[in-house]
Amino acid sequence: MSAEDELESTFVVAWARLLRVSQALLAAADADLKSKGFPPLAWYDAMLELKRAGDAGLRPFELQREMLLAQYNISRLIDRLVGAGYVDRRSAVSDGRGQILTITEAGRAQLKSMWPTYQSIIKHAFADRLDAQEAAALTSILAKLETAPRD
């Protein structure tokens, strides 16, 4: 095996491991939330971003951009959140066709009730497995990847 093939193999292995770990952590989080009677992690993620946006709210494309989780069908997610009473949808004043989404009091309450379970997931599946130095190194590495230019 040439040095170039070895280098490529190292990156491919790291890439695959990053994706596998990410998918496994998200699946474990969803399973734990579901076992406690909560909606999926995507709901938490969306409501958290709407809470952060405050009274100004977010347009659907802004919500999708801010979310941690990939959401390929944002309209279906929004419909479910609105249907559950966790999100309000209103017409944008500046653009009658556009929508503004805001979190409701029920959404804030749901977010608050979900947090201890989500916090526990983060602690047991992630924080308990790394020391502070490893977490800082991982944060630095992921920041490099997060800000990488996309073609």
Does residue 115 lie in a domain region? yes
Query: In the prediction, which pLDDT does 149 show?
Result: 64
For residues 120 and 36, is the Cβ–Cβ distance under 8 A? no
| 106 belongs to a structural domain | yes
Whether residue 25 is predicted with pLDDT greater than 80 in this model: the reply is yes
Residue 6 pLDDT level (bands cut at 50, 70, 90): low
| 134 in any annotated domain | no
Question: Does residue 7 surpass a pLDDT of 90?
Answer: no
| Structural domain contains residue 148 | no
- Rounded CA separation 25/19 (Å): 10
Phi-psi region of 57 (alpha: psi -120 to 50; beta: other; left: phi over 0): left
**8 A C-beta contact, residue 21 and residue 97:** no
Confirm whether 92 is domain-assigned.
yes
The pTM assigned to this predicted structure is 0.83
User: At residue 103, what are phi and psi to the nearest 5 degrees?
Assistant: -80, 140
What pLDDT shows up at residue 68? 77
CATH of the domain at 22: 1.10.10.10
Domain total in the chain: 1
Residue position matching structure tokens 């280098």: 7
| Residue 13 resides in a domain | yes
Q: 61-95: per-residue pLDDT in tens? A: 999 988 877 767 899 999 999 999 999 999 888 77
Q: What is the domain range of residue 34? A: 3-127
